[in-house]
């Protein structure tokens, strides 16, 4: 189809590139990608040769009008990222928003995504879930962000939380989560998904922080944290519930 197609690519295992993804890339007039070496290698494996156009955080605003012009001229443009689903902690949102605003056709070839794969393997409640992506890298900003999540939980949010993290920061990040959300919270670290050394470690935040504090993680990781436990209802709320129960019993 003409228009913009968001194409998911593997997060590790090359066999996860779907036939439809491959067809969309083969038929594209141009493929927008983060790193043309990464996408070039993927396409070369499948004997596809197509124009690659870099699209990343720093040039997305500049590229957007050029891409819109291609789309308006009836071209087929595909968007991929280095791994997984475009836009998910990856470039593309600004382009997609602009294409929608311009009334252009936007579609997707769904496929691999590290967050959802980790969620399904975590053994934690699959929904509701809140995908956070990366926390800030610096300690103070990270603690503040975790504090905002905790405040939302105090206000009633009960969701499984999903974070991306760089392996060299995993230990300190888990430490900050244990401190901000609770040491006993059940959690999971999913590492190297779909790859040879895939591993999911399920334990409390404190235990995981200790484990990865001792031994730096290698490879790519997703952190999944179980929902906050129900908190004891404040007295007023209890009283209201009691009254409602009594009223229901009397009618
Ligand atoms: N767009 C991608 C997706 O759909 O999952 C995510 C891109 S984001 C820049 C990269 C982060 O995703 C990594 O730092 C890691 O947290 C996570 N990730 C990607 N591939 C992974 C894998 N095979 N195993 C575990 N985590 C992975």
Verify whether ligand 1 is closer than 6 Å to residue 190 (CB atom): yes
Q: Strands 160-165 and 51-54: what pairing? A: unpaired
Residue 216: predicted pLDDT: 81
Structure confidence by residue, pLDDT tens digits, 136-179? 999 999 999 999 999 999 999 999 999 999 999 999 999 999 99
Instruction: Judge whether residue 236 has pLDDT over 80.
Output: no
Residue of the CA atom closest to atom 23 of ligand 1: 193
- Strand order through the sheet with 76-79: 51-54, 30-33, 76-79, 3-7, 106-109
Higher per-residue pLDDT: 247 or 129:
129
Residue 23: CB atoms within 10 Å: 13
Q: Are 124 and 158 in contact (CB under 8 A)?
A: no
Verify whether ligand 1 is closer than 6 Å to residue 193 (CB atom): yes
* Residue 114 Cα to ligand 1 middle (Å): 5
pTM: 0.92
Residue 60: predicted pLDDT: 95
Instruction: Judge whether residue 231 has pLDDT over 80.
Output: no
Residue 9: predicted pLDDT: 98
Mean pLDDT computed over every residue of the chain: 95
Verify whether ligand 1 is closer than 6 Å to residue 220 (CB atom): yes
Residue 222: CB atoms within 10 Å: 25
ipTM confidence score: 0.99
89, 169, 194, best to mutate for ligand 1 pocket (most atoms within 8 Å of CB)? 89
Residue 240: predicted pLDDT: 78
Instruction: Judge whether residue 238 has pLDDT over 90.
Output: no
Q: Strands 186-191 and 51-54: what pairing? A: unpaired
Q: Cα 49 vs. chain centroid, distance in angstroms?
A: 29
Verify whether ligand 1 is closer than 6 Å to residue 124 (CB atom): no
Verify whether ligand 1 is closer than 6 Å to residue 80 (CB atom): no
Residue 148: predicted pLDDT: 98
């Amino acid at each position: 189809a003409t228009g913009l197609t968001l194409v998911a690519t593997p997060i590790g295992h090359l066999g996860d590139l779907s036939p439809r993804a491959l067809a969309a890339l083969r038929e594209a007039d141009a493929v927008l990608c983060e790193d043309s070496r990464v996408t070039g290698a993927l396409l070369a494996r499948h004997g596809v040769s197509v124009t690659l156009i870099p699209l990343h955080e720093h040039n997305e605003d500049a590229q957007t009008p050029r891409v819109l012009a291609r789309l308006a001229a009836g071209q087929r443009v595909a968007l991929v990222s280095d791994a997984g689903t475009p836009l998910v902690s990856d470039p593309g949102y600004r382009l997609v928003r602009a294409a929608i605003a311009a009334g252009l056709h936007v579609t997707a070839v769904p496929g691999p995504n590290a967050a959802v794969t980790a969620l399904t393997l975590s053994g934690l409640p699959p929904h509701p879930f809140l995908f956070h992506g990366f926390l800030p890298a610096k300690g103070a900003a990270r603690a503040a962000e975790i504090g905002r999540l905790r405040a939302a939980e105090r206000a009633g949010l009960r969701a499984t939380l999903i974070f991306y993290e760089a392996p060299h920061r995993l230990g300190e990040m888990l430490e900050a989560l244990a401190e901000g959300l609770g040491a006993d919270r059940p959690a999971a670290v999913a590492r190297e998904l779909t790859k040879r050394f895939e591993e999911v470690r399920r334990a409390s935040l404190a235990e995981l922080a200790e484990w990865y504090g001792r031994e730096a993680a290698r490879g790519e990781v997703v952190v999944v944290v179980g929902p906050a436990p129900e908190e004891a209802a404040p007295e007023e709320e209890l009283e209201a519930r009691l009254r409602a129960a009594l009223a229901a019993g009397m009618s």
